[in-house]
Amino acid sequence: MITAAQLRAARALAGLDQRKLAELAGLSVPTIQRMEASEGVIRGNVDSLMKLVGALDAAGIELIGAGAVSRKGGRGVRLKGD
């Protein structure tokens, strides 16, 4: 699961605008906009969510889910280490 806030943060961290992320994920810009405007966890087509997560992963973004190991707990994003 990914939240709208995580998506916005991940996109900013990767230096991607909505158009570029849409291109990388094979999605439309309005789809990215709807996802980012969501409240809480993004809901939608599983295929679209998988494309989105795959594009972020390819851009070097690691999504941190609730309960995952992080210093402060909670959700977040971080750049993957080499």
Give the pLDDT of residue 81. Answer: 59
End-to-end CA, the chain: 24
For 67, residues 6+ apart whose C-beta sits below 8 A from its C-beta are: 73
Q: What are the sequence ranges of the domains in the chain?
A: 4-79
pLDDT one-digit tens code per residue, 31-75 = 999 999 999 899 889 999 999 999 999 998 888 776 666 655 666
- Classify domain 4-79 by CATH number: 1.10.260.40
Instruction: Give the DSSP letter string of the chain.
Output: --BHHHHHHHHHHHT--HHHHHHHHT--HHHHHHHHHSSSB--S-HHHHHHHHHHHHHTTEEEE-TTSS-SS-S-EEEEPP-
Structure tokens at 61: 């973004």
Give the pLDDT of residue 19. Answer: 98
pTM over 0.75: yes
Q: How confident is the model at residue 77 (pLDDT cuts 50, 70, 90)?
A: confident
pLDDT one-digit tens code per residue, 10-26 = 999 999 999 999 999 99
